[in-house]
Structure 1
Amino acid sequence: MLRALSRPAVKLVERYLPDPYIFVLLLTLIAAVAAIAIQHKSPLAVIDYWGNGFWSLLQFSMQMLLVLVTGYMLASSPPVKRLLDHLASYAKNAGAAIILVTLVSLIASWINWGFGLVVGALFAKALARQVKVDYRLLVASAYSGFIVWHGGLAGSVPLTIATEGHFMQERIGIVSTADTIFSYFNLLLVAILFVAVPLVNRLMLPSESESIYVDPALLGAEEEPRVRITRPAERLENSMTLAMLVGFPGLIYLISYFVGGGGLNLNVVNFLFLFLAIVLHRTPQSLLNSLQEAIKGGAGIVIQFPFYAGIMAIMVQSGLAETLSQAMISFATETTLPFWTFISAGVVNMFVPSGGGQWAVQAPVVIPAAQALGVDIPRAAMAVAWGDAWTNLLQPFWALPVLGIAGLKAKDIMGFCLIQLFVTGAIIGACLTWL
């Protein structure tokens, strides 16, 4: 049944889903028109919101670009290539490859979302080099594991409300991760998704006649040629000693950081990927060759993230995001508030694809509603978190690093992700309501 459902979904998306750049332009216009029509803001005011916020995600944009680049450099190093190929060898057929890549992506995304995006995409390429499998579904399966990130160790909402000094502290206090990430209902929800998401991906596997394969030779499996040094500068470019003198101090710093109680965040993940890549490539020239390949997939991030920053500014500063959230939960009851909060967060995420940013928008609406209805605060907060993660299956913002590494377009994978959107939406909504 799921294979039958996925066919029209894939065809629909392939035909009508535009390039992510067109998608962000359309979202910009929709957000601007809605701010004018619903919030009664003047066109000039909306343009000011957009222009003033356009560059507000520059640091984050650079971090995301580095997620792609450093992750690619790490995975293209000879030892990691061999490891990924070894893991891929356990998949003996297409169905096993789909399940294996989904599980690896789920585990990695639960640990850290940036880590999950890169590892899933790179493992998909390793599998495609060894197993004849529909490449679109393989990459879509790698991306689908991202669904669990906000219920995992790097979830923005649960980590924010567990941190001293967060902006809602006077209202809800410090909420321990024992009540959010490690709560019974959240762990059970994650466990259910660890079973359901791989199973759904496997059931969507097209027949051989409908599958689209990729030539393994195009996926970078070749070994680097031996270097012949003809000039002094090349000795430095190919110096293992120089690479180790810089690479190992970086890794020593990370050990000290973690021993001192430091946790995972995006900068730490990028730092780890970069210095592991420096060590594992063994020479600066090998690293630079990998960098040249990695940077090709980063164009979408560079051009699109500023537009999303502008959309977020329109949504937040005009009050449109708050109005949308309020409308979605205005008719909720004590039982249904987590569900409608989840749905509202999913809708808002299409325009504000940032976990921390979305919490800042929705918390002032959701928390008072939860307190008035007597709803458990950790559950209400996690409803926002899961809604933010849920519609990432359809929002191409977060798929850009995966697509850049895999060499695909959004329309190639979003048809399969659309089926996962409906299935996981039903599961998460039910769990938030009744668990």
Structure 2
Amino acid sequence: MDHSQNILQRFALRVSDWSEKWFPDSYIFALLGVIIVAIAALSIGAPVQDVAISFGNGFWSLIPFTMQMCMLIIVGYVVSVSKPVEILIRKMAKIPNSGRGAIVLVATVSLFISLINWAMSTVLTALLVIALAKRKELNMDYRAAAAAAIIGMGATWALGISSSAAQLQANKASLPEPLYNLSGVIPFTETIFLPQSMIMTAVLIIVSIAIAFWSAPKGNSIKTIDQFDIQWDEDKEQKAENTPKRPGDWLENSPILSILIVVLGLLWMFNEYTKSNPIIAISSLNTYNFIFLMLGIALHGTPRNFLNAVAKAVPAVSGVLIQFPLYGSIAFIMTNAVNSADLSLSHYIAEFFVSIATKETFAIVMGIYSAILGFFIPSGGGKWIIEAPYVMQAAHDLKVHLGWSVQIYNAAEALPNLINPFFMLPMLGILKLKAKDVIGFTVTQLIFHLPLVLFLLWILGRTLTYAPPVFS
């Protein structure tokens, strides 16, 4: 490893140690966000009563979207831990012939799976790292492999079909009314399926894989799993009794009910995709979750296996359940609490960004801001609810393509995931590591990604023109 890389990793570890000691749980940042926005609304002259009313009215405004996000996480986990996927992981683990090749494989899987389901990517790649680590002959650096497992979350997830912001904007039923009035419905064809967006995605995949390869330690710098004193109980999970003792036991352990439900689901999906444009159909978050739910039921075979997987997945949604109501309140305070001039906080923020940005610099200014805020509010969908009112207002004022404005947010918002422990938690829990073990490698990715993403957002955005919002 070269000298500069050692310095960078030492710096990253110090930052990680500091953040682990001083940074509170992300829930605290959500609480602080409500208080800060409330104070800011009061400072522009909004009455206290209006701020309080906006807080209460907005608290439950995101219930449909909250449930959708919880289901996305659960079904992604359920699919990842199914037996067929486990067999697939074992087969993939046999592919590489070297430690660095194994790290490249993990990075590649992470980048591509995250385009489909970000929750599934973090779980599936962690399980792949374990399978590869058990191949002692590879001499794979366990830290670098773990870091590669999270690359998709920092590079491509928000540019794929599980993008919270793109899903939200494509679904009128999920959009808070103030945001709908600003942006209208923006279909996938104007966000993630834009040719410019797909070009950016392809570039990020190539660069991320290259960095994962060249930053992987060699020789004596390699730290394998054996040096972490990590052990797993090999296949010692308690299995449910398969011998039926009562009718209920037989139904739980029989695939018959699962098969019937999946057949009904397939018939519904066939009808859904034949009566409308498939791209429009999949842009519905309900349809998207339905597909993965049916897939999870099918892959687990019996209701008991499926329920066991769901039970393991549920704890991962606690942050979404408790924080999204606060994000809804923040959005309402910013847009509904107005002063005597009938102006909201979001209006003043948008005015500020319009004053320091031009149509040419909008992508860079908003990208930097979104990336910084993303470290403190680690939630793609929840943060978009907060940012969207003034981002879309500024886009209107500067005549920036509305769909590309969503992609500016998406690409920049993903960047802090490379160093934010929040989204690393599922992966780190499975691999039994700490954030400081991997942060040195993810910081290396971030240093390259930040200028590259801002440049791509700027240069590709120049090829798009503004169009008024579409209301359906």
TM-score by length of structure 2 reads 0.74
What pairs with 1:11-410 in structure 2 (closer than 5 Å)? 11-17=14-20, 22-29=25-32, 32-33=35-36, 35-37=38-40, 40=43, 46=51, 48-110=53-115, 112=116, 115-131=117-133, 133=140, 137-146=144-153, 147-153=155-161, 155=163, 181-183=192-194, 185-205=196-216, 207-209=221-223, 213=228, 215=230, 217=232, 224=239, 227-261=242-276, 262-317=281-336, 319-349=344-374, 350-351=376-377, 353-354=380-381, 357=385, 358-369=387-398, 371=399, 379-380=404-405, 382-394=407-419
Distance 1:152 1:36, change over 3 A: same
Q: Which moved more, 1:281-290 or 1:319-328?
A: 319-328
Is the alpha carbon distance of 1:145 and 1:322 closer, same or farther for their aligned partners in structure 2, counting shifts above 3 Å? Answer: farther
Question: In structure 2, how many angstroms separate the alpha carbons of the residues matched to 1:139 and 1:228?
Answer: 39
Distance 1:291 1:417, change over 3 A: same
**Partner Cα separation in structure 2 for residue 159 and residue 66 of structure 1:** 14
Structure 1 residues 53-112: Cα deviation after superposition (integer angstroms, max 9, x where no partner): 3333333333333223222222222212111221232234442233222222222333x3
Match of 2:464 in 1: none
Q: CA deviation at 1:42?
A: 6.3
Cα distance between partner residues in 2 of 1:145 and 1:11:
24
Q: Tell me how far 1:363 sits from its aligned partner.
A: 0.7
> What SS does structure 1 have at the residue aligned with 2:28?
helix
Q: Which stretch shows the higher mean deviation, 311-320 or 120-129?
A: 311-320
CA drift of 1:416 comes to 4.6
**Quick check: 1:36–1:46 contact (8 Å CA) kept in 2?**
no
In structure 2, how many angstroms separate the alpha carbons of the residues matched to 1:432 and 1:386? 8
Query: Which structure 1 segments of 5+ residues have no match?
Result: none
Cα displacement (A) at 1:143: 2.9
Deviations 1:271-315 (A, max 9, x none): 222222222222222222323333343433333333444444444
Instruction: Quote the offset at 1:394 in angstroms.
Output: 5.0
2:60 is paired with a residue of what secondary structure?
Answer: coil
> Are positions 1:431 and 2:442 aligned together?
no
Deviation digits for residues 96-130 of structure 1 (CA, Å, limit 9, x no counterpart): 233222222222333x3xx1331342232133123
Q: Could you give the per-residue CA deviations for residues 134-154 of structure 1, whole angstroms, max 9, x where no partner exists? A: 555544433321332343445
> Equivalents in 2 of 1:164, 1:301: separation in Å?
21
Residues 307 and 135 (structure 1 numbering): CA distance in 2 closer, same or farther, change over 3 Å? farther
In the other structure, the counterpart of 1:5 is 8
Gaps of 5+ in 2: 135-139, 338-343, 461-472
Shift of 1:407: 6.6
Q: CA RMSD in A?
A: 4.1
Contact 2:40 2:345 in 1 (8 A): no
Quick check: 1:129–1:216 contact (8 Å CA) kept in 2? no
* In 2: Cα distance, 1:3 partner to 1:140 partner: 16
Inter-partner Cα distance in structure 2 for 1:314 and 1:410: 34
Change (3 A) 1:412 1:302: farther
TM-score (structure 1 length as normaliser) = 0.79
Cα distance, 1:225–1:31 mapped onto 2, change above 3 Å: closer
1:217 match: secondary structure: coil
In structure 2, C-alpha distance between the alignment counterparts of 1:427 and 1:42, rounded to whole Å: 44
Identical pairs, percent? 28
